[in-house]
Homo-oligomer: A and B are copies of this chain.
Amino acid sequence: MRAGPSQEEIRRQNLGALLRHVHVHGAMSRAELTSALGLNRSTIGALTADLATAGLVSEATPKQRGRAGRPSLVVRPESARVHAWAFSVEVDRLSAARVGLGGVVLDRRELGRPRGLVAAETAPLLAGALKEMRQAVPPGTICVGAGIAVCGMVRRDDGLVRLSPHTGWINEPIGATLATELGAETPVVVANVADVCAFAEHARGAAAGRDNVIYLYGDVGVGAGIIAGGRRLTGHGGYGGEVGHMVVNRNGSRCECGSHGCWETEIGEYALLHAAGRPAASGREAVLAVIDAADRGDARAQAAVRRVGDWLGFGVGNLVNIFNPEMVIFGGTMRDLYLAAAAQVRSRLNSVGLSACLEHVRLRTPQLGQDAALVGAAELAFERLLADPLET
């Protein structure tokens, strides 16, 4: 229903499209940009000049490759000069990074996270990592903001962490706390870790160029980041993608959320450890130990992996029927489980999924690995820059 854009909006859109192109695809010549963006050469030249003046890109003459004529200038994102702060709060670890334009991790810190640490104790740890990294930042750089990935339900309007049962957070304003540390001029965006990983894999990973993707992320809990029609599915309040709380077993165990038989009670960390006879263990290492034991022939561990793999395929089948995605990506411990129990996953998926929904779906592991949450958190911050490059 929107009317067409004004000249000023078009210029903003063109600047954003050009900057996004080199941010995602890396350095490329003006000639390549002209063809990729469908704009004429003089427009590309003017846009590039504006972005270069703002310090967001640089231009250089490429090394001659023996072709006649003047070579097309190469446009490069200023990765070292333009950066975002990225943070990730997962059940067992905290990470912080400085990520340059173009998605380059320039610096990073990993911190263990004892389970049970509240937000008031977490924020200073993240702020401490930030202070350390800030000392190494050269003068004259541009910070576009900060992004935080959190394993919990995040309110879209203000980034409040409504509920993160496995970190014990309820209504924690982690974004505001960190903003105090960063200074009022630095915008902070908070989002769910599965959404953030999906965003990263969609921008520059396994799901690049795919319009309908489910990124399943699991550790103790299970959630999904969903790309539908090329865009992130957030839901009304920002809580969309809570697939771990799809009830799959009415007679199942009690879930942290208060319901019974949620999918995460069948495929989360505790489900596997319990089925493997290791109810006292916890953490990613413990999950990997069960998978390793299954690999070495331990019958109980094998049965546990098969059982949980079957439930994994079951829920994926439901989601495939609901979303008709072209790709499902298994992240966090779901990656390890999927790789260990691919036969069970596939078999149950095939029995639950409708054939039309199954015919084009690919099952994949993440391409960005451990960096996905940080790269995605930085993307949250870069979004603002890309929407209006000269305003930021």
Contact = CB atoms under 8 A, between A and B. Distances in A.
Interface of A: 1-5, 9-14, 17-18, 20-21, 24, 37-39, 153, 155, 162-163, 211-212, 228-229, 231-243, 245-250, 257-259, 314, 317-319, 321-326, 351-352, 354-357, 359-361
B242 A354 contact: yes
Contact of A236 (B242, B326, B354): B326
A239 B243 CA distance: 19
Given A1-B24, A4-B12, A228-B235, 11 more contacts: A3-B13, A3-B14, A4-B13, A153-B354, A235-B357, A236-B325, A239-B357, A240-B323, A243-B321, A259-B351, A259-B352
10 contacts: A162-B356, A212-B235, A228-B240, A229-B233, A235-B357, A245-B354, A246-B318, A247-B317, A257-B354, A322-B322
A350 to B, nearest CB: 10
Nearest to A351: B259
Contacts of A10: 4-5, 10
B239 A228 contact: no
Contacts of A250: 248-249, 314
A170 B190 CA distance: 46
A236 B212 contact: yes
B323 A235 contact: yes
Give the interface centre of A37, A233, A248, A354 by most chain B CB atoms within 10 Å: A354
Given A236-B211, A318-B246, A17 B2 contact: yes
A251 to B, nearest CB: 9
A174 to B, nearest CB: 16
B162 A237 contact: no
A2 B324 CA distance: 25
A356 B212 CA distance: 25
A237 B1 contact: no
A241 B354 CA distance: 12
B4 A20 contact: no
Contacts of A239: 324, 354, 356-357
Contacts of A228: 228-229, 233, 235, 240
A35 to B, nearest CB: 12
A5 B5 contact: yes
Nearest to A33: B3
Nearest to A243: B322
Give the interface centre of A5, A258, A357 by most chain B CB atoms within 10 Å: A357
A359 B321 contact: no
Contacts of A14: 3-4
A239 B360 CA distance: 11
A259 B354 CA distance: 9
Give the interface centre of A212, A232, A236, A356 by most chain B CB atoms within 10 Å: A236
A235 to B, nearest CB: 3
A37 B356 CA distance: 41
Contact of A360 (B18, B234, B237): B237
Contact of A321 (B18, B245, B360, B361): B245
Nearest to A361: B236
Contacts of A238: 324
A77 B361 CA distance: 43
Contacts of A163: 354-356
Contacts of A153: 354, 356
A163 B353 CA distance: 14
A306 B82 CA distance: 60
A349 to B, nearest CB: 11
A382 to B, nearest CB: 13
A2 B163 CA distance: 36
